[in-house]
Structure 1
Amino acid sequence: MIVDCGVYADGVRRDLAKEPETVAQAIGDDTECFGWIGLYEPSEAEMTRVQELFGLHKLAVEDALETHQRPKVDRYGDALVVILRTLWYAEAGDAVETGQVTVFIGPRYVVTVRHGEGAPLTTARAELEERASVLGHGPAAVLWAICDTIVDGYEEVAEAVEVDVDEIETSVFSPERTSDAERIYTLKREVLEMLRAIIPLHEPMESFAHAAVPLISREAAPFFRDVADHVIRVSDQTEALDTLLSSALNAHLARVSVQQNDDMRKISAWVAIAAAPTAIAGIYGMNFRHMPELAIHWGYYGVIVLMLVICATMYAFFRRAGWL
């Protein structure tokens, strides 16, 4: 669907009909303004409608309609196409969900195509419209607002995942027996999804910050430096989380191995304690007619006492050795 259409001049929004045709006509009549059209999970017909109005490249439109694209920046003539991955955290299942925002930037227009529930651009648009001095930089200001909103979302997700990682560390090193391998694996997979969205943005944000890309003026470039710094920070934080999860998994597996060794030592100790009386009872249960001590009146009681003494001695030995 078409979410919003706006025409801006000198950092101020004009009150016009929210239709792509109105935006195209306005920027055709006034060379000092630019338009911003926002679409959410548009149909092919809606994308074709906007494509024809603003001359969007066919290949870029195909990428915008297909989700799960890799974050990238492509240039088509005098226009740029920026694809960004959005992230949001779902408490149920420790899941990091992903979406996509494609931004078409021309000299006098911006078209955004969003897929997924993450990083709604309505707030970014409203905040940008309140900052006329920033919006005065034209389409570059819109790109900055979108990048800033999405990267801020990365930081929120990283903080939520960090809480889960802290819980796992506490569980792994708790005195109780826990089974954390499955949750650790799940979080590592989600962290990998985060890195796939964040890492490819390093180079584009640095290019924007140094005005090394067309349509990003030197006056607008400083705004992207802050975004580039945030990308580096959240990237380092996410890589640290991945390292912590790997360490937690190794610690969990090592602890499971130690617990299994403890269990085997306890089993072995009890088997050894039970073996002594079993051996004695087996010997005297062979029913031979001529055996030592068979004629002794207190022989039965003596054997019972001997079994108890041997068992108690072995128990004390294993207890002192830490096997029991």
Structure 2
Amino acid sequence: MLQRADGAGGARAGAGPIVKPGVVAARVYSGGRWITDTTVERAGEWAQKPGHVVWIGLYEPTAELLRTIQQEFQLHDLAIEDASRGHQRPKIEQYGDTLFIVARTAQMVDGRIAFGETHVFLGHGYLISVRHGPSTSYAAVRDRAEACPGAFARGENYILYAILDFIVDNYMPVIEMIEDEVDALEERVVNSLLTGNEVERLYQLRRDLLRLRNAVVPLVDVCRRLEHSEVMPIEAALQPLFRDVTDHVRRVQEAIDAQREVLAFTYEASVMAGQAEQTAVSRRLAAWAAILAVPTAVAGIYGMNFKFMPELEWEYGYHATILVIVTACATLYWRFKRNGWL
């Protein structure tokens, strides 16, 4: 039976309705229009009817549900194994008449990038999307596509484009949030030293951006192969759409690289500022040590227990000694101050 997810909303961690594992939606389309819902057990029949397209959305499906899907659409064992395990690198593979595509999704959760996965099975007359982990629901994609029957009438290839475009577009809000934080840290390092927590945050952001880059870059090859129909024939009118997604992916990659460079500069600037501060403190300590060495040396000499010492019994010996100490210390202070050590 078709299991409806409450609200069919996104699986955004910590926000929005919680999506239950299983079938989120299973719909049949003809001529770009939604004609009916279906069950997984009957989806294969609908997909075989000329002019019909079945779109099934799954969220963290069970092994039993995936086996049912496999039997209905004759999916390859290796693809089903990958879709059940998750933690796959973005890729595109062809198994007979079916394409298996893996894409990584990303969103900000509690100041960190949370990664999810979307696995797509694409064949003649059907598309099956499988989501794992934190991921925005594709209900918005479905709603937009259903609102444009003319475009949606292009079939399962257009659905694939809409999903990939949605995934790539959702990278930008993540990058923009990181960019705002990076700009704040960059401004901080110019005006003052970063705290230990802020330096740790720099490391976190750089690590998250590297993971995001690893998720984004392979999509360039996926879209390129789709654009040039290297894996299966794509309608000529749809190839520019996949080219557009490729351009978006490249812009995302450039934005990630730019932010990583800014973070590297911010960290280096923080290190140099810290070293400069340490050098200034060391200079001040050395200057004061040199100044204090004068009275220490004089006091040490005249503190020795010798009977015959110069000026020991002179009436003005004490005053002369103090004058010498003050003069020497004042001279050293003036020199250090002029050289910027104090």
Give the shorter-chain TM-score range: over 0.9
For 1:174 and 1:95, locate their aligned partners in 2 and report how far apart those are by CA, in whole Å: 26
1:192 and 2:210 correspond? yes
Across the aligned residues of Structure 1 and Structure 2, the Cα RMSD in angstroms comes to 1.5
Local SS of the residue matching 1:188? helix
Q: Who is 2:320 aligned against? A: 302
Local SS of the residue matching 2:235? coil
Q: Who is 2:117 aligned against? A: 100
> Contact 2:47 / 2:124 at 8 angstroms: preserved in 1?
no
Q: Who is 2:5 aligned against? A: none
Output the TM-score relative to the length of structure 2: 0.90
Structure 1 residue 126, shift from structure 2 partner: 1.2
Structure 1 residue 215, shift from structure 2 partner: 4.5
Residues 95 and 177 (structure 1 numbering): CA distance in 2 closer, same or farther, change over 3 Å?
Answer: closer
Local SS of the residue matching 1:216? coil
Q: Who is 1:110 aligned against? A: 127
1:4 and 2:53 correspond? no
Structure 1 residue 285, shift from structure 2 partner: 0.4
Residues 101-147 of structure 1: CA deviation (Å, up to 9, x unaligned): 00000011111100122232111111111111111111101101100
Structure 1 residue 58, shift from structure 2 partner: 0.8
1:46 to 57, 65, 69: 65
For 2:238 and 2:144, locate their aligned partners in 1 and report how far apart those are by CA, in whole Å: 17
Q: Who is 1:25 aligned against? A: 45
Local SS of the residue matching 1:15? strand
Greater mean alpha carbon deviation, residues 282-291 or residues 175-184: 175-184
Q: How does 1:1-324 map to 2 (within 5 A)?
A: 1-16=22-37, 18-28=38-48, 30-90=49-109, 92=110, 94-176=111-193, 178-179=195-196, 180-324=198-342
For 1:269 and 1:112, locate their aligned partners in 2 and report how far apart those are by CA, in whole Å: 70
> Contact 1:63 / 1:69 at 8 angstroms: preserved in 2?
yes
Unaligned runs of 5+ in 2: 1-21
Local SS of the residue matching 1:173? helix
Unaligned runs of 5+ in 1: none
Structure 1 residue 15, shift from structure 2 partner: 2.2
For 1:201 and 1:89, locate their aligned partners in 2 and report how far apart those are by CA, in whole Å: 20
For 1:317 and 1:81, locate their aligned partners in 2 and report how far apart those are by CA, in whole Å: 75
For 2:47 and 2:101, locate their aligned partners in 1 and report how far apart those are by CA, in whole Å: 22
> Contact 2:99 / 2:122 at 8 angstroms: preserved in 1?
yes
Residues 177 and 151 (structure 1 numbering): CA distance in 2 closer, same or farther, change over 3 Å?
Answer: closer
Greater mean alpha carbon deviation, residues 231-240 or residues 171-180: 171-180
Percentage identity across paired residues of the two chains: 37
Residues 148-189 of structure 1: CA deviation (Å, up to 9, x unaligned): 110001111111111121122112211356444322211110
Number of matched residues? 320
> Contact 1:106 / 1:215 at 8 angstroms: preserved in 2?
no
For 2:262 and 2:85, locate their aligned partners in 1 and report how far apart those are by CA, in whole Å: 34
Local SS of the residue matching 2:191? coil
Residues 199-244 of structure 1: CA deviation (Å, up to 9, x unaligned): 1111221232334441421122122222111111111111111122
> Contact 2:193 / 2:273 at 8 angstroms: preserved in 1?
no
